[in-house]
Amino acid sequence: MSPRPAQTWHIGDIVVHRIDEVALPPETGAWLLPEATPDLVAGTPWLAPEFARPDGTLRAAVHTFALEADGLRVLVDTGIGNGKTRANPAWHQLDTPYLDRLTAASFPPERIDHVILTHLHADHVGWNTRLAPDGSWQPTFPRARYLTSRAEYAYWSGVEMEESRRQMFRDSVDPVREHGLLDLVDVTAPGVEVLPGVTLVPTPGHTPGQIAVALHSRGESAIITGDCVHHPVQLAHPQLCSSVDIDPEEAVRTRRWLFDEVARSGALMLGSHFAAPTGGLVRREGAGSAEAGAGSGTGEGRYRLEVVGGA
């Protein structure tokens, strides 16, 4: 069976493809966003049916985004990966056709020029590497430069990690660094353009150095969220925090700022864990807007996502 076509969006001359890895099990939503109760979800009717089931269970997924900008092939995040030992049962020892899907979208691993890692969590770095015949973990994208924020790498380098996270670094982050492929970028507000039309934007809170990826071409724009937003329910309720946000208060400030900026600019939002159709325009509901600058927003506005399905 041939891999299904990747969903695509056109941002001026930049074409973005969603590369699916795995749909997350229903219990993920309750673990990840414990305050997003079925009653609260049911009170946000625009979430159904794409982003929530009839019983109020959240839908979520793991996918990455592949794009071509100025002739360069770029991958934003690398998902969970195959054959990785993980504490989360939904991530443990996966065997998916992710690389086949990536290749079918005209992004074979050997032709990727840059990999951008929004942050260093297991479901965003897993395909950094794949298992070699000798049992070692080798970079999946051998000619690519792997980019992440210096603040993100510095945080994890200086904190005491539990064994499951150390294992993730050993199999998915350290081999990239050891092969000399890891580039650390100083990402400061309002953002740093690392490639033509590709800007890294600081969005701290979920992790200290997390970034979003802003795309600009021919007057059009989009933003790939990373995990400053996990689910569209957070547009209606920006105060909802993930159970794994390191700094929840900063995460809320970042979300409010981001939603206000995207609503104002009309940029397409592409959620890193949003179930299909994944992309949409942010519309403001209610009063309030955030102050300029990531992490400084104080607005109390609510938002909704107007779905843009892509080709």
Closest to 111 (Cα-Cα) out of 65, 68, 62, 172: 68
Task: Give 96-112 as a 3 state SS string.
Answer: CCHHHHHHHCCCCHHHC
**Strand extents, DSSP E, the chain:** 7-11, 14-23, 61-69, 72-76, 114-116, 129-131, 137-139, 145-149, 182-185, 192-195, 198-202, 211-217, 220-224, 268-270, 279-285, 302-307
- Token pair listed for 85: 């030992």
Per-residue pLDDT for 204 more than 60?
yes
Q: Rounded mean pLDDT of 71-98?
A: 97
Q: Determine the pLDDT at residue 295.
A: 36
Average pLDDT value over all residues in the chain: 93
What share of the chain in percent tops pLDDT 90? 91
Q: Which backbone phi and psi does 74 adopt, to 5 degrees? A: -125, 135
Question: Is the separation of the CB atoms in 30 and 234 below 8 Å?
Answer: no
Spatial separation of the C-alpha atoms in residues 69 and 164, rounded to whole Å: 35
Spatial separation of the C-alpha atoms in residues 129 and 169, rounded to whole Å: 11
Tell me the domain boundaries of the chain: 7-307
Paired residues of 9 in beta bridges = 16
Per-residue pLDDT for 291 more than 70?
no
Please tell me the least confidently modeled range out of 3-7, 127-131, 255-259, 278-282.
3-7
Per-residue pLDDT for 162 more than 60?
yes
User: pLDDT by residue (tens digit) across 170-185?
Assistant: 999 999 999 999 999 9
Per-residue pLDDT for 197 more than 90?
yes
User: pLDDT by residue (tens digit) across 263-281?
Assistant: 999 999 999 999 999 999 9
CATH 3.60.15.10 assigned to domain 7-307? The reply is yes
In one letter, which amino acid is 60? A
Q: Determine the pLDDT at residue 311.
A: 56
Per-residue pLDDT for 104 more than 90?
yes
Look up the pTM and report it.
Answer: 0.94
How would residue 301 be classed by pLDDT, with cut points 50, 70 and 90? confident
